[in-house]
Amino acid sequence: MANSEGGARAALLLLELGKVGSSGTTLMELAKALDQTKPTLLRTISSLIDHGFVEQVIRGRYRLGPSIYSLARAESAVILDVASWRPVIEDLAGTLGQTIYLTRRAGLDVVVIDMQVGSAPVQALTTGIGGRLPMGIGSGSLAILATLDPHDQEVLIAANAHRYSRWNFGADAVAEIVKKAMVAGYSNDAGLIIPETGGIGVPIREQGRYVASMSIVLSAPIQFFSQNNIPDVAKKIKKAIADNLNTYRSGRSLD
pLDDT digit string (tens) for 113-167? Answer: 999 999 887 777 677 888 889 999 999 999 999 999 999 999 999 999 999 998 8
Between strands 99-106 and 61-64, the pairing is unpaired
Q: How does residue 1 score in pLDDT terms, banded at 50, 70 and 90?
A: very low
**Burial environment of residue 81 by CB neighbours within 10 A (0 to 12, 13 to 18, 19 or more):** middle
pLDDT of 73 strictly over 70: no
Q: For position 6, which CATH number holds?
A: 1.10.10.10
Whether the Cβ atoms of residue 177 and residue 142 lie closer than 8 Å to each other: yes
**Same domain assignment for residues 39 and 140:** no
Whole-number Å distance between alpha carbons of 80 and 239: 21
pTM of the full structure? 0.74
Q: 243: left (phi > 0), else alpha (psi -120 to 50), else beta?
A: alpha
Residue 245 — pLDDT band, cuts 50, 70, 90? very high
**Does the pLDDT of residue 203 top 50, yes or no?**
yes
- Per-residue confidence (pLDDT) for residue 4, from 0 to 100: 62
Identify which of 187, 186, 252, 184 has the alpha carbon closest to the alpha carbon of residue 173: 187
Query: Are 118 and 156 found together in one domain?
Result: yes
Average pLDDT in the chain: 87
| pLDDT score of 64 more than 60 | yes
Domain final residue, candidates 46, 71, 96: 71
The pLDDT value recorded for residue 132 is 86
Q: Are residues 82 and 104 in the same domain?
A: yes
Whether residues 15 and 29 fall in one domain: yes
Residues 89 and 160 in one domain: yes
Q: Among the listed ranges 44-48, 194-198, 206-210, 217-221, which one has the minimum average pLDDT value?
A: 206-210
Edge-to-edge strands of the sheet including 25-26?
Answer: 25-26, 61-64, 54-58
| Cα-Cα-Cα-Cα dihedral sign, residues 239, 243, 248, 252 | positive
Confidence band of 15 (pLDDT split at 50, 70, 90): confident
**Residues 63 and 160 occupy one common structural domain:** no
Of the three residues 71, 91, 118, the one that is the final residue of a domain is 71
Q: Give me the mean pLDDT over the 41-48 stretch.
A: 89
The Cα-based distances of 104 to 17, 43, 139, 200, 214 in angstroms read 21, 31, 12, 15, 4
- N-to-C CA span, the chain: 46
Residues 180 and 245 in one domain: yes
Task: Note the pLDDT of residue 121.
Answer: 79
Give the strands of the sheet with 132-134, arranged side by side.
132-134, 109-116, 99-106, 214-221, 197-204, 187-188
pLDDT, tens only, 148-161: 999 999 999 999 99
Residue 133 phi/psi, 5° resolution? -135, 150
Provide the pLDDT for residue 191. 84
The winner for highest mean pLDDT among 17-21, 171-175, 209-213 is 171-175
Last residue of some domain: 16, 45, 71? 71
Give the residue with greater pLDDT, 246 vs 58. Answer: 246
Q: Residues 193, 219: contact at Cβ < 8 Å?
A: no
- Under 8 Å between Cβ of 135 and 108: yes
CATH number for position 90 = 3.30.450.40
**Are 134 and 235 found together in one domain?**
yes
- Do 128 and 155 lie in one domain? The reply is yes
One domain, residues 67 and 81? no
Question: Residue 46: which domain range?
Answer: 2-71
Count: domains in the chain = 2
* b/e per residue 19-35 (b: at least 16 CB within 10 A): ebeeebbebeebbebbe
Q: What pLDDT shows up at residue 88?
A: 97
Question: 120 with 200, same domain?
Answer: yes
pLDDT of residue 72: 64
Average the pLDDT over each of 73-87, 146-160, 210-224 and give the range with the smallest value. 73-87
Same domain for 90 and 209, yes or no, is yes
The pLDDT assigned to 172 comes to: 95
